[in-house]
Amino acid sequence: MLIDQVNAGRLHPTEAHRAGQNALRLAAIPTANGAISRKAYARLKEAGIDTRPLLEEAGLTARILQEPNVRFPVKSQITFLNAAARALNDEFLGIELARALELRDFGLLYYVQASSASLGDALTRVTRYSGLHNEGVVLRYTRHENAAISFRYVGVPRAGDYHQIEFFIAALLRACRHLTARNLVPSAVKFVHHRQHVTAEVRALFGCEISFGAAVDQIIFPAASASIPITQADPYLNAILVEYCEEALGERQVKAGPWRLRVENALVPLLPHGKAHLAEVCAELGTSPRTVTRRLASEGQTFSGVLDNLRRALANRYLQERDLPISQIAWLLGYKDNSAFNHSFKRWTQSSPSQVRSSGANTGC
């Protein structure tokens, strides 16, 4: 299209180059089809809540959320879901949206699973084609002593995402139960983010141990679950749908994103264990300290700066949980004791954590 406009004399070559660069930049931003955000938006409207400030916070508009075929950045979806949860006073909004979801709303992704031969095949399909719905979270299916789906963030910060990831895992469990017509109970469910309390309803939904502050976002099934047949299996339809999915997938290629984000996402699960060191991050990323340092420098960043900013952002989020002791917040952020945490917090805000919590202020960390 750009070439046609240049040839027609409607676009100066310099403008064409700039437009092309912008197009490439936007293409590298992980996007989502926004189905989760649209469900949340509908709930807000039903509750009579003014959505304008929430949309503005996320960089979205009502028109975007009213157009089902418009994609937008995954980061905007995470921000909007967090804002919607606050407005609705719904601590587990993502899970509630998953419970109310019509599974067929997943469209092609649902039907390619529903026509698969077994649950293992369905999990293989959702792992490969999940990017059609959300490019910022990559799924990995492994089958050894168990059958597990792991979630990894690409080009999007993991820190701060509560509702989107909880939606994904709850919706995946619902789909597995529906497709097999069995009340499958996972062996375990794990989330990287922290939660102080879990409601009885959430525990009943999963029916298994739920771990927060884990090293990885993951849902694990017994190994034998992979062999359970899908009730609506159709090998001929599945072959056709796989072809469609492969074609659509080929049109969407997302890069790993800035190194700052890659380092930050590696740091999040390491913090509570006191392992937030460059060597540990390099081991997670499969590269050398020299490479990471050089890559961060090219983005105007340093490892210590990324770590400090991440701790600052998480501190603000944790302080909003009134029942979470400040000593535990210090541990979650990887500090050896309260005094070290207090020192950093005063450097960020000129106040102590207890002063900020008692005032009810949001530090904007």
What is residue 252's predicted lDDT score, i.e. its pLDDT? 64
119: left (phi over 0), alpha (psi -120 to 50) or beta: alpha
Banded model confidence at residue 29, pLDDT cuts 50, 70, 90: confident
Give the single-character DSSP code of 208. S
C-alpha distances (whole Å) from 345 to each of 253, 265, 333, 348 are 40, 22, 11, 5
> What's the CATH code, domain 259-359?
1.10.10.60
Higher pLDDT, 357 or 249: 357
**Token pair recorded at residue 236:** 């001929």
Question: Can you give the residue ranges of every domain in the chain?
Answer: 1-32, 99-250, 259-359
Residues of the chain with pLDDT > 90, as a percent, come to 61
Give the integer Cα–Cα distance in Å for 2 and 20. Answer: 7
Mean pLDDT of 229-256: 84
Mean pLDDT of 54-72: 93
72: left (phi over 0), alpha (psi -120 to 50) or beta: beta
Contact 16, 10 (CB under 8 A): no
What interhelical angle do 259-267 and 289-298 show, nearest 10? 130
What are the two backbone dihedrals, phi and then psi, of residue 191, each rounded to the nearest 5 degrees?
Answer: -130, 140
Residue linked to tokens 């992980």 = 30
3-class state of residue 211 by DSSP: strand
Q: 10 Å Cβ neighbour count for 207?
A: 13
